[in-house]
Amino acid sequence: MRPLRSLLAGVFAAGLLAAPALAQEGESLPHQKWSFDSLFGTFDLAAAQRGFQVYSNVCANCHSLQYLHYRDLSGIGLDGDEIKAIAAAVTVPQGLDDQGNPKDGPATPANQFRSPFANEKAARAANNGALPPDLSLIVNAREGGADYIYGILTGFVPAPSGFKMQDGMYYNKMFPGHQIGMPQPLQDGTVEYTDGTSNNLDQEAHDVITFLSWAANPELVERKQIGVRVILFLVFMAGITYAVKRKLWSDVH
């Protein structure tokens, strides 16, 4: 049985190693524990819902999330009525009125998330020339992913003495070049949670990153489940193949 056992061990090891190895880019980043890490990880939906609150109350003032529609929020466990209420509280352009003037009205679940600025020029003008990137895919778009964004959100520290800062920039130890055009968005107590969770900076950052990781990879959990099934199937097939080989060659020595 030795070869079979080492084959199985190999298959499992490959599967288990694959997930963390992918997340390990950007060595100097402080590695955080995420609910969605590892082969069997899933999104902590309570954290993702709090993260949506953080995004809505804070980040949405500057960052769009254009690939999300309000109805997508069912993916973090919100029900139809909650989603309708969230959408209805947002005013979006609704075509033209009878006089041909642009008109606004409450959003519906089918609407895209409203962007804070009408266009890139307006976004830059409001942010000292810096462009707040759309956050829909930001977790995938930055090396280091969730850990990197955690590093940014918790990386605002006083500039070392002698460091020359440009006007309108903020020192961030994790940002390449250390000068970022975003003022520190989260501090202890920025968002009041309704579920009694402590609202310190670390928690707020974890929550909003859980939400943004879901936004960028809504099918992640499904993909992992398929992966696990594929591995189990391969193990099963390896077992069958080995048994057949033993049987066919049993009288050859």
For the CB of residue 94, give the shortest distance to ligand HEC in the complex, in Å.
26
Task: Compute the distance between CA of residue 107 and CA of residue 84 in angstroms, rounded to an integer.
Answer: 8
Chain centroid offset of residue 44 CA: 12
Task: Compute the distance between CA of residue 134 and CA of residue 62 in angstroms, rounded to an integer.
Answer: 9
Q: Within positions 25 to 64, which residues make up the interface with ligand HEC, using CB under 6 A?
A: 54, 58-59, 61-63
Choice between 68 and 132, CB closer to ligand HEC: 132
133 near ligand HEC, rule: CB under 6 A = yes
Choice between 89 and 131, CB closer to ligand HEC: 131
Residue 113, number of CB atoms within 10 A of its CB: 25
Residue of the chain from 23, 86, 90, 130 that contacts ligand HEC (CB under 6 A): 130
- Token pair listed for 241: 């193949």
Q: How many residues bind ligand HEC (CB under 6 A)?
A: 23
127 near ligand HEC, rule: CB under 6 A = yes
Rg (CA), the chain: 24
108 near ligand HEC, rule: CB under 6 A = no
237, burial (CB in 10 Å: exposed 0-12, middle 13-18, buried 19+) = exposed
Q: Is 198 in contact with 165 (CB distance < 8 Å)?
A: no
Residue 145, number of CB atoms within 10 A of its CB: 23
For the CB of residue 87, give the shortest distance to ligand HEC in the complex, in Å.
21
182 near ligand HEC, rule: CB under 6 A = yes
Residue 115, number of CB atoms within 10 A of its CB: 16
- Token pair listed for 66: 């254009």
For the CB of residue 27, give the shortest distance to ligand HEC in the complex, in Å.
17
Span interacting with ligand HEC, options 19-27, 79-87, 101-109, 149-157, rule CB under 6 A = 149-157
| String marking each residue 185-214 x if it binds ligand HEC according to CB under 6 A | xx---------------------x------
180 near ligand HEC, rule: CB under 6 A = yes
Task: Compute the distance between CA of residue 17 and CA of residue 55 in angstroms, rounded to an integer.
Answer: 32
Residues at the site binding ligand HEC, with contacts judged by CB under 6 A: 54, 58-59, 61-63, 127, 130-133, 138, 142, 149, 152-153, 180-183, 185-186, 208
